[in-house]
Amino acid sequence: MDLAFTKEEIAFRDEMRHFFRNEFPEAIRRKASEGRHLSREEMVTAQRFLNARGLAVPHWPQAWGGRDWSSIQTYFYQDEMQQANVPSPLPFNVSMVGPVIATFGNERQKHEFLPQIANLDIWFCQGFSEPGSGSDLASLRTSAKRDGDHYLVNGQKTWTTLAQYADWIFCLVRTDPAAKPQEGISFLLIDMKSPGITVRPIQTIDGGHEVNEVFFDDVKVPLENLVGQENKGWDYAKFLLGNERTGIARVGTSKERIRRIKELAALERSGDQRVIDNPRFREKLAAVEVELKALELTQLRVVANERRAQHGKPDPASSILKIKGSEIQQATTELLMDVVGPYAMPYQPQFEEGWNEPPIGPDYAAPAAPTYFNWRKISIYGGSNEIQRNIIAKAILGL
């Protein structure tokens, strides 16, 4: 047991740190740090910048741009990227559909899609959730019927993040309605320009447009767009969902958020005191920092164990990353609300758009409430925290 990082590990971390803080385009980092949404163009720019330097898909097979890093290297890559406010490569591309194609796709699919996925030449969105099947994903009903050389797809997906930017969508569809819920599902790639697809925006309570409904009305999808075997899509979905074990805690993001909160709390005053000097605020903040430090160590334990058991049984500690990570991320949004106080109240979406009017209150206050509202999603999506607890109770605790 050696609880310090090795020299090599530290050198790698410092390399990542230097790159993300000094070489990555600063305007994008600043915008992210201020809690503002990035445009499609900025996200594409960011990913291509990384991809050009071999940093968009380091966890992929080496043949397709992977770096064969150790789990601790991958950890530093993610953590430093988050701490530097560098936007992560589009997860639907690099963590979801990319690995599925690389693992289960045929050679043609690999050659056609993987380079474009890595470079965000193709933007994918995810078509899993449906209105009737949230936590209970296996109850999905969007159907794909074979009809000559294509499938006819009908149904509806929802909570489709950034579908408005997407070129393609990867979907779970029901190809065998007679089979058991989990056995008649297939994994399809669908061009968003196909006739019969309609995207309807869902506005969320923060005022943003991040998610959408996607309707399929007799959409023709070539059979060759099936990934892997027909009716085996559930396995690929499980592979996809199980892929992301550690990044989900977003420890680096929370560290950076706390730094930002301290910075702003030193600007904001209450009476003759800076907010940062209020002992109650400091203690609230320190209590979150303690939980975050513990989570960071928990994550490192998981990372270190992954080295040994790459595809083995997950570490019990890994199961808590989602729950505690979401709680901490949400706590940071509440701390920022505390900092800006009454100036969380004005609704200032215009701060996104290069509006020229002066802000109401301090310029850093505008994103506080929208972020507090928006980040409530973190304990809901990707398997709500209640579902996580169900899973842990059964899989880890044997109850």
Partner 1 sequence: MDFDLSEEQSLLKDSVEKLVAQHYDFEQRKKYLQTPQGWSPDLWARYAEMGLLGLPFAEAEGGFGGGAVETMIVMEAFGRGLVLEPYFATVVLAGGLLRHAASSAQRAELLPAIASGTLRMAFAHSERQARYDLADVTTSARESAGSWRITGEKSLVLAGEHADRLIVSARVAGAARAQDGIGLFLVDAGAAGVSRRGYALQDATRAAEISFSDVPATPLGAPGKAFPVIARVVDEALAALAAEAVGVMAAMHEVTLDYLRTRKQFGRAIGQFQVLQHRAVDMLVAIEQARSMAFFATMMANEADATERRRALAAAKIQIGRSGHKVGQEAIQLHGGIGMTMEYKVGHYFKRMTMIELLFGDADHHLAELAAMGGLIAG
Q: Is 7 in the site for a second copy (CB under 8 A)?
A: no
User: Please, which residues bridge with residue 172 across strands?
Assistant: 187
Q: How far is the CB of 284 from a second copy (least distance, A)?
A: 11
Cβ within 8 Å of residue 151, ≥6 positions away: 144, 145, 173, 175, 188, 220, 221, 223, 225, 226
Q: Is 280 in the site for a second copy (CB under 8 A)?
A: yes
Distance CA(338)–CA(243), nearest Å, equals 36
Specify the residue, 61 or 181, whose C-beta has the smaller distance to partner 1: 181
Binding piece for partner 1, criterion CB under 8 A, among 57-65, 93-101, 167-175, 315-323: 315-323
Indicate which single residue of 134, 314, 382, 383 sits in contact with partner 1 (rule: CB under 8 A): 134
Q: What is the DSSP string of 298-337?
A: HHHHHHHHHHH-TTSSPPGGGHHHHHHHHHHHHHHHHHHH
295: exposed, middle or buried (Cβ count in 10 Å: 0-12, 13-18, 19+): buried
Q: Is 348 in the site for partner 1 (CB under 8 A)?
A: yes
Instruction: Write each residue from 153 to 192 as x if it is in contact with partner 1 (CB under 8 A), else as -, in one continuous string.
Output: -----xx---------------------------------
Q: How far is the CB of 367 from partner 1 (least distance, A)?
A: 12
DSSP 126: E
Indicate which single residue of 148, 177, 195, 279 sits in contact with partner 1 (rule: CB under 8 A): 279
Q: How far is the CB of 208 from partner 1 (least distance, A)?
A: 10
Q: Is 271 in the site for a second copy (CB under 8 A)?
A: no
Binding piece for partner 1, criterion CB under 8 A, among 131-139, 149-157, 183-191, 219-227: 131-139
Q: Is 283 in the site for a second copy (CB under 8 A)?
A: yes
* Residue in 96, 102, 87, 97 with CA at minimum distance from that of residue 48: 87
Q: Is 279 in the site for a second copy (CB under 8 A)?
A: yes
Q: Is 271 in the site for partner 1 (CB under 8 A)?
A: yes
CB 185 within 8 A of CB 130: no
Q: How far is the CB of 276 from a second copy (least distance, A)?
A: 16
User: Please, which residues bridge with residue 130 across strands?
Assistant: 133
CB 155 within 8 A of CB 142: yes
Residues 54-113 that bind partner 1 (CB under 8 A): 72
Binding site for a second copy (CB under 8 A): 279-280, 283
